[in-house]
Structures are given as C-alpha cells and as structure tokens.
Chains A and B, each alone.
Chain A
Amino acid sequence: MVRSVISMKALWHSEVHNEQKWAANMKLVRALGVFAGGIFFMRNYDCLPLLLLSLLIAECASRPLYTLPSLAKAGTKKPLQTSRPFNVAHRGANGEFPEETAPAYMRAIEEGADFIESDILSTKDGVLICHHDVNLDDTTDVADHKEFADRKRTYEVQGMNMTGFFTVDFTVEELTTLGAKQRYPFRDQQYNGKFPIITLDEYIAIALDAPRVVGIYPEIKNPVFINQQVKWADGKKFEDKIVATLKKYGYKGSYMSKDWLKQPIFIQSFAATSLVYISNMTDSPKVFLIDDVTILTEDTNKTYNEITSDKYLDYIKPYVVGIGPWKDTIVPVSNNRLTTPTDLVARAHSRNLQVHPYTYRNENQFLHSGFHQDAYLEYDYWINKIGVDGLFTDFTGSLHNFQELTSPLPKLQ
C-alpha cells in the first residue's frame, strides 16, 4: 500500500512537476480530446477527412496552457552585481573573437561580463554602428573587396592626416558585406572574415536578450569627426541620434535607480562637450574618458593636466558619475615597471567620481614587469591596492575568474 502511494507520488512528480513532461502530457490530453470529439462528430455527421484535417491543425497550432519560460517577466533575470568592481568587456571578448562582433559580445556575456562595451560610429547613411576605428583597415577585410577600392580617402582626424577606408564613406548595406578580423596577429585568427559589423540596435538586442541582466557601455566616438562628415535629417547631431536609440530601447534612470538596475548603462566619451550636451536629454550615468598625457581633447583641445585638475573635476562632476583614464597615466611606467601611483584616483574618489581605467590585457607585452606575466596579479593590484571601481578588459573571462576566486558574490539564501 505504502509502496504504491510512494510510487504514485513519484509518478505524479515526474509527470506533473517536470515542465517538459507536463507539456507533452498536455499535448496528449488535448490530442485525445480532439480525437474523442472527432469520433463523435464522425459518427453523427460522417465527414472523416475534414475531421482528421482539423485534428491535425488543432494539434499542431495549439498554444501551451502556460507562459513559455523565455517570455516570463523580466523580474526573474539574475540582477547586475554591484558589490565589487565592474567587469567591463572592452569591445566584447576581443581576446578571443574579432572585436565588437556579435560573437565577441555573446562570449563576453557567457564569461560573466557585467557590462559589454562598444564604440559608436556612423555610416554614410547615418546608421549607428559598433566599430572602434574611424577607418576599416585594421579590423575588416575591406582591402580584399575590389568593389570598394576607390573609397580610399585621406581625412584629418584630431589634427592628423589619416588615409584609409572610412566608415563614413560606406552605407550600412555596404559595410555589412565586410568581414571583421582580429586586430592583433598574436590572437586567434580563425574567425577572420566570418562575422559582420553590427549596428547599435543589434548590440543593444544582444544585451537585452541575455539570460541575466547585462549592462551596456557605449562610447560616443569621434563625435567631432562624425558630425563633420555625416548630416542627419532635421538638423539632428550624432549625439542626438545615439540618445534617441537608447531611449527607444527604454534606457533611462540615474545610477543605481530601479530603472537603471533593470537596464544598466554608462555612456562614455573623450569629448566632454558631448556629455554635457546630452546631459539634459538623458539622466543615464556618464563617464568622461581621459587619454594619454600627451593627447589633447578632440573637442576642446585641453591638455591632460587641465582635465585632471581639481578645478576641472569639480566642473565636470555634475555631468558624470566617473572618469575612464588610460591606466598608465594613473600609475606611470618607467622601464616597464610601475612607479609611484599618482593621486588621480584619490582626487576622483573624494569627489564621489568612479574610476574605470582601460585597458587590461593578458598578453605579456602588455603586462608590466612587477606582474610576472600574470594578469591576475595585475587585477589584484588595481582592485585591491589602487581600488578602482571598474575595469575595461579584453579578457572578461580572466577577470571574472579572478573576481570569483578572490571575492565571490554572496550566495543567494
């Protein structure tokens, strides 16, 4: 008696509580119901072929009786972690895949990225795309496309003449015929020519489709150059179009607000004026990028010293939540060894500004001597000694590994 009750319970559990089994069972019940109904009608109304046909259609077209798991409400997604420095997948997992392609981003999400990062540029016809360089030479197979041979041009970009194939000379249709390639010869070359350039919309879709909450970190890239070369209808600027797209997909809310936690985002740029310009249009958190000590800002021609001065940090503070400096300016390097850290992080933190330096790479040519060719020692130094709030890394998997091993997230109760 007891035996059979237990086995009944087990049967019930396996047949009812198992989702797939339940779906199959429901289908069976429906099929039986339709069959029984069919038999009844057949006996009384004698139209077998019609009934068999309707049986078939009903069975195949029927909806399951419950919401499909993948359409379940967004609240069930695992939230963004906010208790340890952000793992920002710089151009996706570009240590393994060609940068800024769909697989690079999906791999980064797989590897545990908190944010996937991208650079936004524009095509000739004003479509926003994900691409880092203003020209296509180093990261696509444009050179193999004879039909575009005449598009090679020379432009002045940030005060220097540059020759190549520029994104602003190609329509989006033309651009998507190109194949992305791995920028560095010492990285995996096997995906060269396989994946296309993607648009800002596609990039956002990848983030929103992720099985957990994944933030985006788009950069308003080379806005001065883009606005010179591309004109949008109704007098809109590059920055306007970016914000419009973000809003279209529901990105809003200040840092750590409920809206923001549902769809996390940082908008970054080297051009402070662009960030100030969009500050009225969107309350999403912004990050001011800072280049090397010798480079002037592309929009205001300011020096490194100027834009990292106390005065400037006080000025920019109302518009941004943080800064993104090149890591070798925070801790200067001499003979490939780190020297004494500057006070930039301290001064930023005292103004409640986050610091997200770029870029962390595993390869030994990028690792300074004190780290013994071990990227994890570099992460340890920057996270525990310097105390940064986020890291742009080409190797999201390694950073995730390091963080999981040394500062695992608290287990859900």
Chain B
Amino acid sequence: MILTRCLPLIWLFLLTACAGRTLYPLPGKGGKSAKLPIQTSRPYNIAHRGSNGEIPEETAPAYLRAIEEGADFIETDVLSSKDGVLICFHDYTLDETTNVASHKEFADRNRTYEVQGSNKTGFFTFDFTLKELKKLRTKQRFSFRDQQYNGKYPIITFEEFITIAREAPRVVGIYPEIKNPVLMNQHVKWPGGKRFEDKVVETLKKYKYGGSYLSKKWLKRPLFIQSFAPSSLVYISNLIDSPKVLLIDDVTILTEDTNQTYAEITSDVYFNYIKQYVVGIGPWKDTVVQVSNNYTQAPTDLVKRAHVHNLQVHPYTYRNENEFLHLNFSQDPYKEYKYWINEIGVDGLFTDFTGSLHNYQEWTSPLSETSKSPRQLLGQIASLVLPYTKA
C-alpha cells in the first residue's frame, strides 16, 4: 500500500541517482592546474613542424609525436585555403609535401604566380577550398626520411592544431607563423575587410590565447607568434599582447613586406625599434655562426647584441642528418646542441628532432623536481658539495 503510493517517489529517486553528476570532477576533466606546467628554466625545445624527422610535417601525428617526445612548443606555418580557412602548411604550393600530383581531378589547378618578385609554378593552397585540400594526403618531404606514412595523413586546420596542443596531457605551447602574409592577402579576401593577420589573431583569441610573456595567462596557454614580415607583427601588436618573434632569413634575402636587407634588420638601430613589438628574433643559424668549407667559424655578435636589447634568440633549424651537420660536430647532433646551448647561449631551438633535443636536455640539464621538500633540497645540496670538501 505504502509502496504503491511511494512508487513515483522511488522512480524519481532512481532517475536522479542514475542521471546525477558525481560530486567530484572526473580525472579526465581535472582542473587545469593539474597539468604539468611548461618548463622555463632552460632553452625551449620547439618542435619545428612537429616531429617531422619521423612523420610527414605539420600533420596531427607529427604534432602528437612531438608532444610525446617532450616538446615545449609545437611549431606551425599558417596559410590559407581558397575559402579563407586557416591551415597548417609550410609551402604555398602543395607539390613537395602532398600527393596532389596523383589527383587527376585537380590537374588543371597547376598555375603560375609571382611570389616575392619571381614566378613560381605549382598547385597553390589558395586555389583549393578546404574540402578539396582535405582530399589530399601528405608525404615526407625528404627522401632520406621515413617514407612509410606517405599518403596516410591529411592537412590539418589551424584550429585542429590548436586543439592538439590544448588536449595534451601537460601544458604545451604553440608557435604559429604568419606565413607569406603578402601573398595570402593578395589572393584571399575575407568578409568585413579582414586581413590574413586579423584571422590568425581571431582564431587565437577564440581559444583564449593571450597575455604577455611569462604572465599567468601566458603560462596557461604559452604562445609565440612568429613571422618574417615585421609589418604583420607590428599590425597585430594592438590586437593581441602575446609575445612575438621576428624571423630573419639568410643574408641575401630581403624581407617580403618591407624589402629590407639582412644588415638593416639586424642592426642595433633596428633592434631598438623592433624590440617594442617583439620579445625575440628567429635567425637562420648559419647566419649567427657563419660556415666555411662546412666548418663553423667564429660566431658573429648577433646573439650578444640581441641579448643586450633583451631579445631572445631562437635559431632554426637543427637536424640530425649528417648532411646538415657541419664537420666540426663529428656528425653528432648532440655536439651541435651542446655548442648552441652552452657556447652560443640561445634561448630556444627549432628542431626537426624534438626527441633528440629533449634527450640531450634531460641528460645534461634535467629539470629539478618541484615536489622536493626543503629538507630534501638541503640533502641534495649537501651531496653535491661533498666531493669537493677537503678530506
């Protein structure tokens, strides 16, 4: 009797119990502070285009692998599709790193355009909608690297790249490049008169990126915005306060937007000007330490002068293969890392082999555990000092 009357109540109780939320957050959705933070005590390990030594560049697996291997930042180049979607891709043509050539339906998209003063022919990213780009599959650029993933992975969007970083089990920073902005703005028009740079910043803000270098906000979502075009960096300086890095090409190349020479943009006068907008520079490493007969020479004063202006230096690009290692490094990439980190004193390194750099850093400058108690720390200091005390 009582039971039948209470039946609705019982039913309601069961419903609530089964549908109700747990009283604590699920481990998978743990608070952001539970993630291992980004290290800031030794030079940054920047996974150049992901772990592209092993997996085709700028694909999801390349980035996932880089995170697995210990990257501090995953780096990418942002370009645009025909319909204005931001994608992660290095070349403005698809020929070297995708199987576009085997797609007969796109055969007529082979075009010639003028890029930075010279004519280039190929399949340009801005002649393909995102849907069409997604039909292609990437391939490993260098023939001497692992070819087994060719044709397996698609190009990803900038948003997908950001998601990979955000979903990492520890705090992983992103390092997107505003790539070929002059070319992008020539060929792609966005509604509302927005420019390529606007769209990049918009996307970053959408995912809550922001905050000056080493601020609390920045440490939660670390970010460097890089570009070879200083005017783009200046343009976005009002839009977002995230740290920016000016990339510097070889000594013979002029900047794509302002036609300035290497000598100009590395002068003290220019550093004085640009340091209001950027926290660092990203030079090609063979201009920082010149090379002769495949041997490195005495370093230039570029790093010293940059450091005097409080500008970080993140040279590119470090690769394991002996064809890229100058002879005084005895075909040993760890020797190269040692030289650049200890003798030249750079603040970050763009590397194709994030695992090797991570290994090197872990062996020679392991991060101190943050969970040591004061007593443990004192004990550690004592054991370090002991061998040097007089017998």
Q: Counting CB contacts under 8 A, is A373 at the interface?
A: yes
How far, in whole Å, are A213 and B72 apart by their CA atoms in the complex?
43
Contact A364 B320 (CB under 8 A): yes
Please pick, from B293, B322, B334, B364, the residue contacting A364 in the complex, using a CB distance under 8 A. B322
Q: Contacts A186-B323, A406-B363; is A373 near B53 (CB within 8 Å)?
A: yes
How far, in whole Å, are A377 and B363 apart by their CA atoms in the complex?
13
How far, in whole Å, are A372 and B54 apart by their CA atoms in the complex?
6
How far, in whole Å, are A376 and B333 apart by their CA atoms in the complex?
10
Q: Counting CB contacts under 8 A, is B353 at the interface?
A: yes
Prevailing SS type, chain A contact patch: loop
How far, in whole Å, are A377 and B355 apart by their CA atoms in the complex?
10
Residue of B nearest to A404 (CB): B363
Q: Chain A residues near B335: list those with CB within 8 A.
A: 397-398, 401
Give the interface residue-count category, chain A.
20 to 34
Please pick, from A93, A187, A376, the residue contacting B356 in the complex, using a CB distance under 8 A. A376
Which of B322, B327, B363, B387 has the most chain A CB within a 10 Å cutoff? B322
Distance from A304 Cβ to chain B, minimum over Cβ atoms (Å): 29
How far, in whole Å, are A276 and B293 apart by their CA atoms in the complex?
49
How far, in whole Å, are A88 and B88 apart by their CA atoms in the complex?
46
Q: Counting CB contacts under 8 A, is B321 at the interface?
A: yes
Residue of A nearest to B387 (CB): A411
Q: Chain A residues near B96: list those with CB within 8 A.
A: none
How far, in whole Å, are A398 and B329 apart by their CA atoms in the complex?
10
Distance from B356 Cβ to chain A, minimum over Cβ atoms (Å): 5
Please pick, from A376, A397, A411, the residue contacting B359 in the complex, using a CB distance under 8 A. A376
How far, in whole Å, are A389 and B356 apart by their CA atoms in the complex?
24
Distance from A57 Cβ to chain B, minimum over Cβ atoms (Å): 45
Contact B387 A362 (CB under 8 A): no
Q: Counting CB contacts under 8 A, is A375 at the interface?
A: yes
Contact B333 A374 (CB under 8 A): yes
Contact B334 A190 (CB under 8 A): no
Residue of A nearest to B293 (CB): A190
Within 8 A of B (CB), among A363-377: 363-365, 369, 372-377
Give the interface residue-count category, chain B.
20 to 34
Q: Contacts A190-B293, A364-B144, A405-B363; is A373 near B320 (CB within 8 Å)?
A: yes
Q: Counting CB contacts under 8 A, is A141 at the interface?
A: no
Q: Counting CB contacts under 8 A, is A325 at the interface?
A: no
Q: Counting CB contacts under 8 A, is A260 at the interface?
A: no
Distance from A368 Cβ to chain B, minimum over Cβ atoms (Å): 10
Distance from B53 Cβ to chain A, minimum over Cβ atoms (Å): 6
Total inter-chain residue pairs, C-beta < 8 Å:
68
Distance from B367 Cβ to chain A, minimum over Cβ atoms (Å): 16
Q: Counting CB contacts under 8 A, is A195 at the interface?
A: no
Residue of B nearest to A394 (CB): B331
Please encode chain B, from 316 to 346, with 1 for each CB lying within 8 Å of some chain A CB and 0 for all others. Answer: 0000111100010011111100000000000
Distance from A218 Cβ to chain B, minimum over Cβ atoms (Å): 25
Contact A373 B334 (CB under 8 A): no
Q: Chain B residues near A395: list those with CB within 8 A.
A: 330-332
Which of B53, B144, B331, B334 has the most chain A CB within a 10 Å cutoff? B331
Distance from A213 Cβ to chain B, minimum over Cβ atoms (Å): 23
Q: Chain A residues near B148: list those with CB within 8 A.
A: 335, 369
Distance from B152 Cβ to chain A, minimum over Cβ atoms (Å): 15
Residue of B nearest to A397 (CB): B330
Contact B359 A363 (CB under 8 A): no
Distance from B321 Cβ to chain A, minimum over Cβ atoms (Å): 5
Contact B332 A398 (CB under 8 A): yes
Distance from B182 Cβ to chain A, minimum over Cβ atoms (Å): 35
**30 chain-A/chain-B pairs, Cβ below 8 angstroms:** A93-B330, A95-B330, A95-B331, A186-B322, A190-B293, A335-B148, A362-B330, A362-B331, A363-B322, A364-B144, A364-B320, A364-B321, A365-B144, A372-B353, A372-B356, A373-B53, A373-B320, A373-B321, A374-B333, A374-B353, A374-B356, A376-B334, A376-B356, A376-B359, A395-B331, A397-B330, A398-B331, A398-B334, A405-B363, A411-B387
What residues of chain A have their CB less than 8 Å away from a CB belonging to chain B?
93, 95-96, 186-188, 190, 335, 362-365, 369, 372-377, 395, 397-398, 401, 405-406, 411
**5 cross-chain pairs, A with B, having the tightest CB-CB distances, nearest first:** A373-B320, A362-B331, A405-B363, A363-B322, A364-B321
Q: A186-B322, A374-B320, A376-B334 are in contact. List 7 more A-B contacts (CB 8 A).
A: A95-B330, A362-B331, A365-B144, A373-B53, A374-B359, A377-B355, A398-B334
